[in-house]
């Protein structure tokens, strides 16, 4: 019998197999890219929620109030205790930096692009006979590839 070697169809099949191997690998790679972007937003949101939870501990109890959905944006927003003003390297009020396009362009761009917002849902809870504990749900919302995303955490702050 004469050995004919690899036929064209064999090569095509071989190539097809190679392509079939490559496609998932490349798609896996592009998903890992998306994953990184996604995890950046998620992790940023978790950081924001943590930040709010920490500020709640330090602020006067009675000032902890509801911030209803759809929530407040962090950029171009009026002063609050959590995000604005954000920085101040000077020794007086005049040097404060807020999250605006002029003060902090990079952060402003990122927040505006993803439309990051925060909301607080506050309820008084009573574990005993006292009514001096606030149970606070912190919600961070943002938009990612046209989808609405949410990160939620929960803290208790007591008045005593």
Chain positions 90 to 119 lying near another protein, rule: CB under 8 A, are: 90-93, 95-96, 106-107, 110
String of DSSP letters for 22-84 = HHHHHHHHHHHHHHHHHHHHHHHHHHHHHHHHHHHHHS-GGG---EEEEEEESTT----SSSS
| # residues contacting another protein (CB under 8 A) | 76
Shortest reach from residue 46's CB to another protein, in Å: 6
Residue from the set 2, 20, 102, 145 that interacts with another protein by CB under 8 A: 2
Residue from the set 78, 102, 126, 146 that interacts with another protein by CB under 8 A: 126
Give every CB contact of residue 142 below 8 A, 6+ residues apart in sequence: 41, 45, 114, 115, 116, 117, 148, 149
Residue from the set 29, 78, 102, 145 that interacts with another protein by CB under 8 A: 29
Residue from the set 80, 115, 132, 144 that interacts with another protein by CB under 8 A: 132
């Amino acid at each position: 019998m004469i050995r004919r070697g690899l036929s064209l169809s064999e090569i095509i099949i071989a190539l097809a197999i190679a392509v079939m191997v490559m496609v998932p690998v490349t798609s896996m790679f592009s998903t890992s890219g998306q994953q990184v972007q996604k995890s950046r937003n998620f992790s940023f949101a978790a950081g924001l929620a943590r930040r709010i939870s920490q500020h709640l501990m330090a602020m006067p109890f009675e000032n902890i109030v509801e911030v209803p959905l759809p929530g407040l944006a962090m950029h171009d927003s009026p002063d609050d205790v959590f995000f604005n003003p954000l920085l101040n390297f000077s020794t007086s009020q005049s040097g404060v930096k807020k999250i605006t396009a002029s003060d902090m362009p990079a952060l402003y761009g990122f927040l505006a692009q993803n439309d990051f917002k925060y909301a607080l849902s506050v309820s008084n809870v009573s574990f005993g006979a006292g009514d001096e504990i606030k149970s606070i749900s912190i919600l961070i919302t943002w938009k990612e590839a046209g989808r609405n995303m949410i990160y939620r955490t929960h803290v208790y702050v007591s008045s005593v």
